[in-house]
Amino acid sequence: DADVTQTPRNRITKTGKRIMLECSQTKGHDRMYWYRQDPGLGLRLIYYSFDVKDINKGEISDGYSVSRQAQAKFSLSLESAIPNQTALYFCATSGSSQGARTFFGQGTRLTVV
Protein backbone atom coordinates (compact mmCIF):
# COMPACT_ATOMS: atom_id res chain seq x y z
CA ASP A 1 0.00 0.00 0.00
CA ALA A 2 1.09 3.52 -0.73
CA ASP A 3 2.30 5.68 2.15
CA VAL A 4 0.25 8.63 0.89
CA THR A 5 -3.03 7.97 -0.90
CA GLN A 6 -4.93 10.58 -2.85
CA THR A 7 -8.49 10.27 -4.10
CA PRO A 8 -9.66 10.72 -6.74
CA ARG A 9 -6.72 10.28 -9.12
CA ASN A 10 -8.50 12.11 -11.91
CA ARG A 11 -11.48 14.42 -11.86
CA ILE A 12 -13.26 16.60 -14.36
CA THR A 13 -15.63 19.17 -12.92
CA LYS A 14 -17.58 22.15 -14.10
CA THR A 15 -16.92 25.78 -13.31
CA GLY A 16 -18.64 26.82 -10.09
CA LYS A 17 -18.87 23.35 -8.61
CA ARG A 18 -17.51 22.48 -5.18
CA ILE A 19 -14.97 19.71 -5.15
CA MET A 20 -12.96 17.99 -2.45
CA LEU A 21 -9.68 16.17 -2.89
CA GLU A 22 -8.82 13.73 -0.16
CA CYS A 23 -5.51 12.56 1.20
CA SER A 24 -4.59 9.97 3.78
CA GLN A 25 -1.20 8.83 5.03
CA THR A 26 0.05 5.79 6.89
CA LYS A 27 3.39 7.23 7.96
CA GLY A 28 2.17 8.47 11.32
CA HIS A 29 3.52 11.93 10.51
CA ASP A 30 2.17 15.11 12.02
CA ARG A 31 2.91 17.33 9.02
CA MET A 32 0.84 17.31 5.86
CA TYR A 33 0.86 19.53 2.77
CA TRP A 34 -1.04 20.30 -0.40
CA TYR A 35 0.89 21.38 -3.49
CA ARG A 36 -0.23 22.32 -6.94
CA GLN A 37 1.82 21.60 -10.08
CA ASP A 38 1.51 23.62 -13.26
CA PRO A 39 3.72 23.19 -16.34
CA GLY A 40 6.74 25.45 -16.17
CA LEU A 41 5.96 26.56 -12.62
CA GLY A 42 7.02 23.58 -10.57
CA LEU A 43 5.12 22.78 -7.40
CA ARG A 44 3.64 25.54 -5.29
CA LEU A 45 2.43 25.17 -1.73
CA ILE A 46 -1.29 25.74 -1.18
CA TYR A 47 -1.77 24.88 2.51
CA TYR A 48 0.14 23.02 5.17
CA SER A 49 -0.64 21.61 8.58
CA PHE A 50 1.92 20.84 11.26
CA ASP A 51 -0.59 19.03 13.44
CA VAL A 52 -4.33 18.48 13.69
CA LYS A 53 -4.98 21.90 15.26
CA ASP A 54 -2.54 23.81 13.07
CA ILE A 55 -3.47 24.99 9.56
CA ASN A 56 -1.41 27.49 7.59
CA LYS A 57 -1.74 29.18 4.25
CA GLY A 58 0.92 28.58 1.70
CA GLU A 59 2.00 30.55 -1.32
CA ILE A 60 -1.26 30.23 -3.30
CA SER A 61 -4.16 29.61 -0.91
CA ASP A 62 -6.77 31.88 -2.52
CA GLY A 63 -9.75 29.88 -3.78
CA TYR A 64 -8.87 26.85 -1.65
CA SER A 65 -9.67 25.61 1.84
CA VAL A 66 -8.47 22.62 3.81
CA SER A 67 -9.59 20.41 6.64
CA ARG A 68 -7.39 18.25 8.87
CA GLN A 69 -9.88 15.66 10.00
CA ALA A 70 -7.33 13.51 11.79
CA GLN A 71 -3.59 13.09 11.97
CA ALA A 72 -3.75 10.86 8.93
CA LYS A 73 -6.25 12.81 6.83
CA PHE A 74 -5.94 16.18 5.12
CA SER A 75 -8.46 17.26 2.49
CA LEU A 76 -8.38 20.14 0.03
CA SER A 77 -11.55 21.86 -1.15
CA LEU A 78 -12.29 24.14 -4.04
CA GLU A 79 -15.47 25.94 -3.01
CA SER A 80 -16.26 27.20 -6.48
CA ALA A 81 -13.95 25.72 -9.06
CA ILE A 82 -12.62 27.88 -11.89
CA PRO A 83 -10.72 26.83 -15.05
CA ASN A 84 -7.37 28.21 -13.89
CA GLN A 85 -7.48 25.71 -11.03
CA THR A 86 -6.94 23.00 -13.61
CA ALA A 87 -3.70 21.41 -12.43
CA LEU A 88 -2.05 18.39 -10.89
CA TYR A 89 -2.45 18.39 -7.11
CA PHE A 90 -0.10 16.62 -4.73
CA CYS A 91 -0.56 15.79 -1.09
CA ALA A 92 2.56 15.19 0.98
CA THR A 93 3.55 14.31 4.52
CA SER A 94 6.74 14.61 6.53
CA GLY A 95 8.06 14.06 9.98
CA SER A 96 8.90 16.99 12.21
CA SER A 97 12.62 16.39 12.74
CA GLN A 98 15.12 18.55 10.89
CA GLY A 99 15.61 17.40 7.35
CA ALA A 100 12.90 14.75 7.62
CA ARG A 101 12.00 13.23 4.31
CA THR A 102 8.82 14.34 2.55
CA PHE A 103 6.60 11.66 1.02
CA PHE A 104 4.30 12.52 -1.87
CA GLY A 105 1.08 11.00 -3.08
CA GLN A 106 0.60 10.00 -6.71
CA GLY A 107 -1.26 13.19 -7.50
CA THR A 108 -4.80 14.13 -8.51
CA ARG A 109 -5.29 15.52 -11.98
CA LEU A 110 -8.11 18.03 -11.81
CA THR A 111 -9.69 19.58 -14.89
CA VAL A 112 -12.21 22.40 -14.53
CA VAL A 113 -14.26 22.99 -17.65
Partner 1 sequence: GEDVEQSLFLSVREGDSSVINCTYTDSSSTYLYWYKQEPGAGLQLLTYIFSNMDMKQDQRLTVLLNKKDKHLSLRIADTQTGDSAIYFCAASSTGFQKLVFGTGTRLLVSP
Residue 63 vs 95, nearer CB to partner 1: 95
E strands, the chain, in order:
4-7, 10-13, 19-25, 31-38, 42-51, 54-57, 64-70, 73-78, 87-94, 102-104, 108-112
The distance of closest approach from Cβ of residue 58 to partner 1 in the complex, given in angstroms and rounded to an integer, is 7
Site for partner 1 in 4-63 (CB under 8 A): 31, 33, 35, 40-45, 48, 58-59
Site for partner 1 in 57-76 (CB under 8 A): 58-59
Cα–Cα dist 91/106, whole Å:
8
For partner 1, the binding residue among 13, 61, 86, 107 (CB under 8 A) is 107
Residues that bind partner 1 (CB under 8 A): 31, 33, 35, 40-45, 48, 58-59, 90, 92, 94-96, 98-102, 104-107
